[in-house]
Chain A
C-alpha cells in the first residue's frame, strides 16, 4: 500500500474520533488517487462525476466514521462507501438527465471525457453493458492492477467468483473490440 503520512489507517481513525478531525485529510489524500481512478472508470471516464462521487463518499465516510467497527480494515470500509456512491451516481444518471447536461456544448462534453478515442469509447460502452459486479471486478483488476487476493480482501468475495467476473468481462470487451475491426 502506498502510504501518505507515516501513520496507519487505524491510528488515524482513532485520532479523528478523539477530536483531531484535521487528520482526516491524510486519509483523503491517501485514497483519493487510488479510488479516484476506480470512480472515473466506473463512471464512464467522466472525471467531474468521479470527483463529485468521491467527495460525497469521503464526507459520508467522515460522518459515519464512528460506525467503522474495525479501523484496521478502514480501506475496505471506505471502498464500500465509494463503490456504493458510484453505483448511486450511475443509477441517478440513468434516471435523470439534468438541464446543464442537455445544454452542455459539444466541445466541452468532448473535453470532459478523458479518452474519447474510438477504442476508449468502445471499452466504456462495453463496461456499461456489464453487470455492476463484473464492471467493478474488471476495473479493479485491469485499471487498479489489484491481485485477486487483494480484490477478495477488499470486496469480501471469493477469488474464484472474482475470476469468473473478470473473465466474463474480458470476453464481453473482446467482442466489442472485435466489432470495431
Chain B
C-alpha cells in the first residue's frame, strides 16, 4: 500500500465483498481489523424502542370521542386523497397562490411552525404549534380561550425521552390566552410566550396573537 492510512483499491474491493485474489496479506489483515472494529461499533448501536410506536400512534390516532371537536381534529390529522378534474386544479392553483401570498413566516416566532389552514367563508385558521418541555409530566394538555379553557380539550404529545410536549392547533386570527395543564391539575403559563396577562385570580395567562398572515406575537 502506498499510503499507510488509505485502503488500496484492491482492499476497498475486498471490503465491498468482491473477489480479490491478488490482495496483499498485510492489506488483508488491515482490512479485516478495520472491518471488525466497524462491526463492533455497529453491534453496539441501539434502535429506539416501542415507545416510538406508541407516541406516533397517539399522535396520529386520537382516542375515540363523539365530540365534534375530536371528530374535526381526527379529520384534520388524517391523510386525505382527493381526486379532482384538471380544470379544478387550475382554479385551485390560482386560489392557493392567493393564500400563499397571505401566509408568511414571522421571524422570532419560536413556539413552532405555522401554516395556513382552511379559508372558506372567511374563516381562516392558522395552524400553531405549541411546545412545552416537561420531562417529568405524565400528561400535558392545552387550555385556553379558544377551547373554553377545557383542560381535556387539547392533548399534547410527548416526544420520546426528550420530554418535549407538542400540539398543533388550528386558531382563528385574534388574540388568545392559554395555559398548559400538567397531569390534570397544575396550570402553568408558557415560559416561551412573549406576553403574559393577569387572569384576575392572581395568576398569569400566556398570550398569543394570531393574524391572518400567521402568528404576530407569541
Min CB gap B44→A, angstroms? 4
Chain A's interface size range is 35 or more
Which of A29, A34, A50, A170 has the most B CB atoms < 10 Å from its CB? Answer: A170
How many A-B residue contacts, CB cutoff 8 Å? Answer: 143
A54 touches B48 (CB 8 A): yes
Bound CA–CA A171/B198 (angstroms): 62
Bound CA–CA A143/B15 (angstroms): 14
Is residue B41 within 8 Å, beta carbon to beta carbon, of the partner chain?
Answer: yes
Interface string of B165-177 (1 = CB under 8 A from A): 0000000000000
A100 touches B133 (CB 8 A): yes
B48 touches A175 (CB 8 A): no
Out of B53, B61, B135, name the residue touching A29 (CB < 8 Å). Answer: B53
Bound CA–CA A45/B48 (angstroms): 11
Chain A residues near B85: list those with CB within 8 A.
none
Interface string of A98-138 (1 = CB under 8 A from B): 00100000000000001100011001000000000000000
Is residue B52 within 8 Å, beta carbon to beta carbon, of the partner chain?
Answer: yes
User: Chain B: how many interface residues by the 8 Å CB criterion?
Assistant: 44
Chain B residues near A10: list those with CB within 8 A.
none
Bound CA–CA A25/B51 (angstroms): 12
A142 touches B53 (CB 8 A): no
Chain A residues near B82: list those with CB within 8 A.
66
Task: Write the residues of chain A forming the contact surface with B, with a CB cutoff of 8 angstroms.
Answer: 16-17, 19, 21-22, 24-25, 28-29, 32-34, 36-37, 39-41, 45, 47-52, 54-56, 58-59, 62-66, 100, 114-115, 119-120, 123, 142-143, 148, 163, 166-167, 170-171, 173-175, 177-178
A-B contacts, 21 of them at CB < 8 A, read A21-B78, A22-B57, A22-B61, A24-B60, A28-B57, A29-B50, A32-B50, A32-B52, A51-B49, A51-B160, A52-B159, A52-B160, A55-B52, A59-B59, A62-B79, A63-B79, A115-B44, A142-B39, A143-B45, A167-B12, A178-B5
